[in-house]
Structure 1
Amino acid sequence: MAAASLSMPGSRSPMLGSDDYSLYSGLSEDELIELAVEHSLADAYTSVTRTVSAKTSAFQNGPAWNPPKSNPTFTGSSLPGPHNASMPTTFPVLQQNQHCKETTVPEQSALSDDATWSHSYITDNGQRCVAWRRYNGSMYITPSELLDPVVEAIKQGAAETLIQMSWKGKSLAKPDKQGWTPLHEAAYYGQEKCLKVILKAHPELIDSRTLRQQTPLLLAAAADQVRCAQSLLQRGADPNIPNKNGETPLYKACEQENVETVALLLDHGAQVNRTCVQGWTALHEAVCRNNVEICRMLVNAGAKLNARNMYGITPLFIAAQSGRVETLLFLIKKGVDIDNQANDGATALYEASKNGHEEIVELLLSQNADANRASKCGFLPLHIAAQRGHEEVVSLLIPVTSKSDIRGSGISPLHLAAEHNEDDVLEVLIEAGYDVNFMLSPDRSKMYEDRRSTALYFAVFNSNIEATTMLLEAGANPNRDTFSPLLVALRQGCIQTVTLLVEHGANVNACVPTHPTSFPGTIMFCMKFLSLLKYLMDNGCDALSCFQCPYGSKPHPPIKTTCDRNSLDDRTEEETPNMPLQFCEIISAPEISRWAGPVIDVLLDYVGNVQLCARLTEHLDSYEDWAGIKEKCALPCSLMHMCRLMIRKQVGTVRLNQLNTLPLPERLIKYISMDHFQAC
């Protein structure tokens, strides 16, 4: 039945034929009388609006727009005003040459803070605008979209108005730019009467789709409009048509947690295991919402308990990941596979441990979940819990985690706790007896540029003194890494960490393995920190090697490029690649050379009679205040100092760190430790 057949041109009232009467056959006699009255009122209103339109010349040609003292009462929905965030804050003043025509039904717009009233109109080029009047008398305009009267009637629930529009030839099936038909609008806004009127006229629209492939039924389910969904299903709507994302009305009903809509859809043949583009089923969504009642309905309707999405994630995985205890317990009772692994190898226990869901972890462990099933990255649930700092979860996992599986993973949870500064977790693991000297496997160690291996290195690298203390007191060896943690602490200039490491046996003569030097690398990293340099010397660092230059008093080859501690492989032109860097090369770097005098002065206190090489002599001669240092080297050392150096050599660096524990007189300890002495 064509809508145009409902009215005839030139006629003031509609004429219905016998074929058209079926559109209104469902209405009662009282409803038909009411429609006739409203139709008469509509005819009267048309004549009024023509009179209003004739008065627009005052707005177009007059010098100013004089509004009434009070705001006029408009009909229709509000239009966006200048307070709308999408509109600019300032607008051009309306000029006299802006010809425009008023709409037949003026609409009131939401007033802005600086506007007294507003009026809508349409320009000559068809652009709908709203004119605003400021309190100071000036005006400005904003563009506005013309609201479809059919949509407006649907939003207001005016089913009779829709019938009247249909009489006059207005289409109830025309889609908008997004592909929404009036039936979509009625379903979305929950206007059941409007929906029935539209379906009566256009039953073919029942499964029509928007540009995003949304059906009226899907929109009703997504907007939680139960009555509309019921009407659509009763009239034959297909419950299994998905939208562009593959989401069905059942999926959307689960998303809204509407039990009644879910029941309706299932009763009308909704496919319970239909998946969206990412592989999620309605059960995934219900579990995510922690709605046990809907989960039970879906499972009873045949939902697969172990359905996997595109990432291999099951509903159980979702429950564990998001901490949904109730749905997790329901799924377990239904016999779900508790150790099912996702595509990355993660289990439900792994995800619960990762997110710190203590109650979930406890429940899964009570159901004998496997705590030793590793993910593809080799991490066990204990690893990820330690990395994330979930202390209580770590305590639950420790008794059920195999230490042999930890060793097989190539990384200890101690490493992860130390790397992420999780001190409380670190303490729990140490108390549980985890090996503080466990080293990363070569495959994991090479993931770090410095080839670190121990948990202690991570703690020192992070300048975490508390973690460093715990590990050292638990027996961590500070000399197991390729690059000594002591070198890291010296580079950071942290005297507290350096002291801790040295007191626990760190090698004060450690070198940089990738850049061989003829003297301890520890000296190279503390030339700018004289207090640290002296501390190393007090504890047995080899100062004599700094003065054993192969060139001696002979002229040194010119340095090719600048040498500093950050570019250790810069060499002289005539040196062979196998020759280690000399102390005089390093101290000649521009960043270090200004410290040459004080550094040499400290080192001379810990050596006997030495001869400065030509380059060191050149440094001392470059600054007159350093002349005394050069003379100090020229004078012979005292016998007392020579004896002290010999005793220190015999004691060794390890015992020098433990002088206070040796059964020696306090005076002798001070003598050996070089407190208050004169070298020469």
Structure 2
Amino acid sequence: MEDVDRCEEELIEYAIRESIRDSSIDSIQTVSGDYLRIVTAIEQGDVCTLQELSGLQAFTERDSRGWLPLHRAAVQSQEQVLNQVLLASFDVTVEDVTADGDTALILAVQEGLLENGSYDMVSTLIICGAFVEQVCLKKWMAIHEAAKVGCSAILVLLLRHGAKVTAVDGHNVTPLGIAAEYAHAEVLDILIKNGGDVNAKAYNGDTVLALRTFIPITTKRAIRLSGQSPVHSAADGGNVDCLELLIEKGFDVNAQLDTHISENYGDMRRSPLYFAVSNSDVTCTEMLLAAGAKTDLDPYELVRLLLSSGAEVNCYFRMISDTVFPTALQYCLRDHMMLRLLLNNGYDVDKCFLCNHGNGQDMDCDSWVDYHHNHRITLFYNQDYRASFCEIISLSSVVNLAGSVVQMLLDYVRHPRICPNLLRVLEKQKEWPDICDILVMAAVPFPPTLKHYLTYREYNEYGGSAASHS
């Protein structure tokens, strides 16, 4: 069906082009002698004769195709000729159309070659008030025609005078799609720089750009100057086929938005993965991850987005290690901002203070072994045992973090229980004096507002809801 439509369009365009080049016998038979004299003077570039003929009613006369002398002047190469015809056509406007719905501007753009004066014709018509977004019967605008003929100078001229890169024809095709179809790399470059949508879709659901044609003729410089990668657009639009092709062609799945684009989003997103996750697009998310998308390009925004979308902050991942406390905490012990984000979203802090060391028992050394090999720590785990927070934080790899982490956790518990093992670790930390003060305050019934002030809660990076149990 698509091939049939394309064939019909090509036949229509061929007929139009032929009618522009040749005057038919029927046309000659239906016009006056004055009209023929005017047309002859236009074709010969005879400005003097046109001046002599000024004032004749024949300047408002049309041939069988609906062409005025103005339309014929728009497709020739001499600017002086067009100027003279415009002066003589006082009862005609530049918006008058042919039988095919083409204005003089669209006809001039269709010629589209600098060497034949088309740029000057287009410029003159615009100066005289031609509307750059006038639609012809094909539902094309002048910018579509410029994208087809590949004249970048005329395209820039149209854009400068209000033409839109987002303009669509009757099939919802943009100028970018037209330029890609006809493989005009320079025009593609200009359109992308001016905001052309590389993922726009036609009404039939097909991606407008024939990506396999588009990719090799688009320069990396054009993509860089646009401030975003096609991968962002594919992920944002949920276009699985485009995303798959872009990945196949080696586009960077970790490309980041330029700052001036990222700032347009309230969450300051940067990565294609963030777009997919924010759209709840499981398929695109899986494709990006499988292609090597990094999850740490938008770490806080991604976690916050997942939590706001209902992700369970208190879930357990028991395949690697089984803990008494919800698993996520052990992965952000070194990142206090991420830790605060978890705590502010309902993390079950109480379980960090549950263990079997209340009677002064030592750590079960058969459960966890701190083994040093090549300056790396390997943990051998007994699967029948659930590790407590005090055991994890006592490991030599993270024991130096114990003071700062526990100090933050204490902001979120009402009656903390510090076991002997954890106490021995904390007493060696520089934060121990502050922790002692917090423990004292926890035992005294201060008003909640005062307690928040004393524990610096108002300086929380992520603000918002306080822990319900603090």
Please give the TM-score of this superposition, normalised by the length of structure 1: 0.34
Greater share of helix: 2
Which structure has the larger Rg over C-alpha atoms? 1
Please give the TM-score of this superposition, normalised by the length of structure 2: 0.47
